[in-house]
Amino acid sequence: MKIRTQLIFFFSIIIILSVGISSYFAISYTESSILDAEIAKMNTHNAEIMHEIETLHQRASEDLVFALKNPKFVEYFELPETKAGNVYDENGVLQFTEKQQEIKEELERWTYHFQNKFEVDETCLIDATGQEHARLVLSQIEINENLSPDEATAPFFESSFMKQKNEVHVQYPYVSPDTERWVFAYTSPVELGNGQKPAIYHFEMPMTVFEKLLDGRDGRMFVVDPNGYIIADTQDTVTETVSSFEPEKQFPSFQTAFGDDSLNILNEMKLNEIGSGSYFDGTETHYFVYERLSTFDWILIYEKPESLMLVGHTTLSDLLFTIGIIALSVTIIGIFSVIVISSRITRPITKLADEISKENPERLEELDVSDPDIGKISHSVNDLIQKMNSYQEEIHLQNQELLIQKQQLERMAKIGESASKLVHNLRTPLTVIKATVDLIYHSSKESLDDASIEKLDRIKSASENLETQIRSVLQYVREKPLDIQNVKLRDLINDTLNTIQIPSSVNVSVECSDDVIQCDPDKLQIVLMNIINNALEAVDKSGKITISSNKSNHDNQIQISDNGPGIPSENMAKIFDSLFTTKPSGTGLGLSFCKSVLEQHGGSITVSQNPTTFTISLPKKSLVKKSKE
């Protein structure tokens, strides 16, 4: 049988079988597919609402933590009169000193703006005895005479003091005695510098905010407590009227929603984080999807009756007729297309087979036929051969690069081994030097003059810096996490210069500000020492080195310039590469280490010419990169 006939027969059978099977399953499962699609949409909508609910709690917690960032909270409770304890007058009213009242009013204004930003009913500041120090209800500041001393009985009180700094306790809903509404409570402790927690900051958000997030669309959405009552419902605002202070009496029973199957359905929801199901209410089938919330293990449920899920979709009988017409049309068009396409496919293939049989198959590039279809195939074969040759060349180059990298890694391993031995050999004499300095200092302190003491201090400081430098060489092989601190830039520069022997003929000018930067001072000092020592070598025994600084909105910069001969242009792109050096005794690690440390800080180092200037950039808020262990 010819190729064309085989193609027509084979693909015609495939088309007929494919259309027939597809039509069968389409007819059999159309309604089921519609329901599945609707359930998928319900799951998506349920997930969106769940995200909004979780975002609500997250935003409320974040806003509370943000409000506590105000240093006035700590300042108020650090006051000696606050620490001394509460003072009351003969009427039992809490008394405030002038300073307490001043800070209290600032906190009340801060809380007022906080309430206006977020939908909050009540905010108060409560100390560890249960005494309120400030309270705002519906943006109204409460007078001192009305501050309650009995908040220790509040349901959130004890749990709130168990939280750590920046942790938020979310209290199960209760009826607020001030607003007489069902509310959520969010609380977080005020923590002093010594870790003491003298008070909690607390706000109440009405449950109506939570209920507004529910969107049942053309179905019903509600939130269920695992104990079996409905917390929120799109068909009924269950907290609009306070009928009881007890949840089980205020909220409707879950059985009102799912009838006789309620208990089994609720037990299933308790066992699974997410799922779906259906039940029959005596009239029609209802489908529902659910997902458990992270707060109080509540369950978010979205439910629709089957009639609503099928509204707007084509009926099954209409789909049957439509699928039949489409199946017949597709079959006819498909077979006709196979006949036409098979002719187009087989003709150039047959010609190409004839040409290849006449030519050497190992030299397909030599094929030269007039037919444009065959020519395209021949060119494609030639292009493939050219690409293969190109890939082989690239692979060869990559192998060469890998070999060089392997050699560098082997050299780095040897350097690391040598560095370990060097630390072992140098640590003992350095310890002896430091111990000797301490012995001389303590045994002969009274007989030493100031100049001698200063020299001893410099010897001790130099010894400690040498230990730091040795450790830093090892850190090049194995980085350690940064110890970020707030450091005065000018002090860091001066400390670095004090550890370097600078010839009297070299003029070092420091034009740095007193700005505070965030960095690892030990590592950054080694970076500065490397660059300054390179500058001293560049200017030889005479010259000028200038150390200056400036800043922008995002980073602090340190510039170190010298009037030396400069760096050869051919070396500019390589000076920060590890193991690159122009010094006979150099290791090629100095500037590479500098670059590694600054990148670990989230910063950078660059160099420019005329004059030679190294620029160190450090972000104002240090972004520490994860170190390799």
CA distance 145 to 101: 13
pLDDT tens digit sequence for 555-583 = 889 999 988 888 887 877 777 776 666 66
Q: Exposed e or buried b for every residue in 330-345, given b needs 16+ CB within 10 A?
A: bbeebeeebeeebeee
Query: What rounded mean pLDDT belongs to the chain?
Result: 80
CB 71 within 8 A of CB 78: no
Please choose, from the candidates 75, 186, 174, the residue with its C-alpha nearest in 3D space to the C-alpha of residue 124.
Answer: 186
Mean pLDDT of all residues in 151-162: 91
CA distance 556 to 549: 7
pLDDT tens digit sequence for 267-290 = 888 899 999 998 888 888 889 999
Q: What confidence category does residue 300 fall into, taking pLDDT thresholds of 50, 70 and 90?
A: very high
Q: Concatenated DSSP letters for 403-439?
A: HHHHHHHHHHHHHHHHHHHHHHHHHHHHHHHHHHHHH
CA distance 248 to 255: 13
Pairing of strands 543-551, 506-511: parallel
Cβ neighbours of residue 176 closer than 8 Å, sequence gap 6 or more: 121, 122, 182, 183, 204
Tokens at 605, concatenated: 């180092």
CB 220 within 8 A of CB 235: yes
The pLDDT value given to residue 361: 45
pLDDT tens digit sequence for 356-396 = 565 444 444 545 545 555 566 666 656 665 676 677 678 87
Rg (the chain; Cα; Å): 40
The pLDDT value given to residue 355: 58
Q: 139 vs 96, which has greater pLDDT? A: 96
Q: Say yes or no to pLDDT of 101 above 60.
A: yes
The pLDDT value given to residue 381: 54
pLDDT tens digit sequence for 592-612 = 888 888 888 889 989 888 888
Residues 136-142: contacts with CB under 8 Å, at least 24 apart: 136/108, 136/111, 136/112, 137/178, 137/179, 138/179, 139/112, 139/115, 141/108, 141/112
Q: What confidence category does residue 87 fall into, taking pLDDT thresholds of 50, 70 and 90?
A: very high
Predicted TM-score (pTM) of the model is: 0.47
Q: What confidence category does residue 624 fall into, taking pLDDT thresholds of 50, 70 and 90?
A: low
Strands (E), 325-380: none
The pLDDT value given to residue 200: 95
The pLDDT value given to residue 419: 63
One-letter amino acid of 402: L
Angle CA(207)–CA(213)–CA(217) in degrees, nearest 5? 135
Helix axes 316-358, 372-443, angle to 10 degrees: 100
pLDDT tens digit sequence for 225-251 = 999 888 888 887 766 677 788 888 888
Strands (E), 193-263: 199-206, 220-225, 229-233
The pLDDT value given to residue 364: 42
